[in-house]
Structure formats: structure tokens, C-alpha cells
Structure 1
């Protein structure tokens, strides 16, 4: 599950584009449309079915996850609204409902702090959307942004399903000159060649420094490269024995993030910045900024950690 929130997007982003194109081509051949029609628009999901029902399906259509519980009154307001909008959007996203009482592991691994909480999974990458029973106008705005991000970043279009005529699918993303290089990076990851993946992502960034897929892929591939071959028990013991050793804390933070413990990794490095000075302090700060790239700038945990880092520095 460590890859659910933090690491799956490296490989899944490229695969998602390919699957989306294949789905469109097959639908065109059969005279239909691709998208969410292959399954229900609203469904319950548990830990056992998460990979199939959410991760795999997220390569074809954005999956919105509603974390709820029977005792939660705001959940009873938000849940029906999300279900109604899932039908209205007619396949541009699907809604997975997670009962947190029965699925504590998912609740913890997504870092949910209160419910209702709404996330999305696009091409295997989790995106926090909002918490609480938001008004309908705000929910619609978030969903519109989600559909746009799914198309622009991953080439995924949730097409109308069933009787949803008149609900336009987002325009198909044009091919870019870097698709072959990004494909080479994904192939290298498949083969376990992390060095090759890093080089491929750097090749893209040398020509297009702002390419979001390459930036994310490079940050995650470099993280995987760093933790490869680490002895987790030894690394964590060294960090526990020497709280003021910046290098030990940096190595442990890499393990934290690779294991999906995002806030632990950020907190560890912020504490290292507070406790150290000079080159050690700067090394902890730089690694923290690199880990921000792994998660993405829009994640609220990154925003909170940036604020905490500023306080630690100044």
C-alpha cells in the first residue's frame, strides 16, 4: 500500500495515457464511447478490493473516494450529494465509498484526520480534495478541476456512460515531443533500472524544465534509488540513537516517505533543521524540498510542512 498514495504515479501516469488511448480506439472501433460504463458509477470499496476497484480503474477514469461512517452526520449530507453528482457527470468520474469503521487501514494510509474526507485517485496517484460537508457549488468546482487535471496531466478522459448524452468529454490531450522519452523512463522502471529512469527523466527536463510528469517521476525515481539496498532496521536505529545527526535523519526520512509515512518524513526533517546548523542544516532543508517534489506542491501536507520549515529557518 505504500505506493497507493505516494509512489504509484511514476509508472501509472505513462500507463494511464496508453490505456486511455487504447480504450478510445476500441470504443471508436465498436461505435461507442470509453469511460466508466464498464462498471457502476457509485460503489462501495474495501481494503481487499482497493487495487482492482480503485487503482486499476483510475487508469481509465478519475476515482473519487468518499471516506464516511454511519455515525457521522456531515457524511449523511455530503454522501448523497456526491452520489447525485456522480450520476449527473455521467462517467467523467466514478465514486468509491469507504466505510472507515470497516476499513481502518485505508483510513490511516490516506492520512485522513477527520470525516467526511474526499480524495481522488488518478492514474494511481492520490489527490486530496477536501474535508467536511462542503456546499454544492464548491464541490462542483473541485470536481470540474479534477476532470481537467485528469485530462491535462494523464490523458484520462471519463467519457459519458449509459444515457448520459449531452455531457461532453474533455478534449483529447495532444501528443508531446517528450512522450517517447517519458515512455522510456516508464520502461526502465518496469525493468527495475532506476538509473535509466533517472537519466530519461533528466533528458526531458533538460529541454523542458517545467515538465510536471518528468519532475514528479524524477523525484520519485531518485527516492526509490536512494532507499534501494537500505537496511530499514539499521537506518531507523541510527536515527533513533543520534537525533542530532542530519545524515541519519535524512536516510530515515527517505524510508518514511517510501513507506507512505509522509508526515513522519516531513516532521523528522523539520526537527533536523531545528537541531542542526551549517552544512548539516542545509542538507536537511534541501532533502525536505526534494521530498516535497515527490508528493506534489498542491498536497496540503506539503503546504503545512513549508510553513513549518519557514518557522524553523526564521
Structure 2
């Protein structure tokens, strides 16, 4: 029960991706770019990780740049934005979309031509640039956009996409010392303390993926602490459309290792309910995705099923 999940809590974006099923690279993979340019705040976007990239805009901005090898101007724009993504140190995540390799994304986003840059903030896409420009002009334009976002209180930053340190002997990832107090609390059985420690980290940096994931799992443990499984199942059976009863059983199923059962229960609840109840069920399900890990194939399958249930 103390296993720390590896992916962030997330919320669904605004684009229907139910038809996007082609495999691709992981969300952390850095695309090719100009020599010597780091991809710490850049991700190559494909059909498999597109939804996750959109969801990361809930806490910090995402710029999607659409390019094609058939348009050298669009590739140059993407390269320049990659340089700027490092300069802005996580103020935005750059998502590079090759429209030739991922035509379904271009279709879903209704991209008329390249180059094109779209700003995504809190799941809402807004066209930003339709032509390449000198990097100095790009820098000025981005500064202006983020000045407006800051005035609106949207100030989150993304974590670098570089890998963490590993133990030279075992090859296992080393625990970041920032997470040690929360992990220690879990090992002591102090679930409320773990929630508080993870919450401090998330409050300090909403883009901290590991802290958000740890918080999702700690909150799951806290919600189910002391709950009688049989009584919870009886309550859910007696009230199939009661959101509180259904999400409690889903939580317990997840902790018991019945991940698909937990997901399917809430997906069916989304199908049956409407308005506020439907939104509560959906939001809770997305939270469980974060606790399991967004790279887990069961999560990816459930995301597709949830999209189908919503649309």
C-alpha cells in the first residue's frame, strides 16, 4: 500500500481522441532538433501521448507546433521554439507534432496548414502563430502572452523531462529527498501526514509530476482507511447511480489490485449519469488514472473507453 505511483494526476483535455490508436514514443521522449539543443522542456507528440500532453496544460501552458519535412519553414520554427522552451525554463512545454507522421492529430485539431503554433492553457487550445518569424520576435511574442497569463493567475511551470538519478549498483531510481518526508509518513502508517507532505510539494510546484502522483495515491489511501469492503459493496449494489457509493468501491478495487474493475465501474457510471454526477464520476476516474500511472496500458485503454462514454 505504500508503493509510490510514477505519473501525475491529470484531467481530460478538450479534444476527442477516441479514434487515435497508433503507437508511438513515450511522453518523455525528446524529438530531434538542432545540434546541441536540449529537449528538457520538449516532447515529440504522437497519437499515443497526445492526450497526456494536453492534460499537462491544466497546471502549466503547452505550445503545440505543427510542422512537416516538406516545409523547411515549419521545421525551423519548431527548432527555434525548442530553443526558447529551454530559455523559459518550464514556463511552457513544447509539443512538436509532425503532421506527416501523425496525420490524425492534425485532423483532430483541424490544422489547415503548417507552420502553425497553438497555445493550450487549462485544456483550452488557442491559435497563436501561423507563420515563422525571427527568434527574437518569437521571444517577444511569447513574453507578451505569458504576461497576460500571469495577470490571470496562470503561473505554473513544467518539470524538466530529463531522467532522474539511478543507483550505480542496482540501476534503480534513487528517491528524490524532497519526497522522503511523505514516504517516511507512509511507512509509519501516517496517511494523513503523507497527504500533507505531498500537498506541500504540489502547492509549491503544481507541475511536480511525482508529487502530484504521490498525492493522488496518498489521498486514495486516506479515503479508504478503515472502510469495510463488504459494506461498501452492499451500499453500491443498493444504489447503482450513487456517485459516492460507486467511487468508494472503485477506490477499494484499485487498492485490491482490481484495476480494470475500478475503471470499468466508473466508466459505466459516466455513461449512466449526467451533469454534476457525471462530472464527479469522470473527475474521480481521472484521479485514479494518476494513481495507477498514465503509461499503464490499462489506463490508456480506460482513457479511450472514457472518451467514448463522454462523446
**TM-score range with shorter-chain normalisation?**
0.3 to 0.5
Larger relative contact order (Cα-Cα within 8 Å, sequence gap ≥ 6)? 2
TM-score, with structure 1 as normaliser: 0.46
TM-score, with structure 2 as normaliser: 0.46
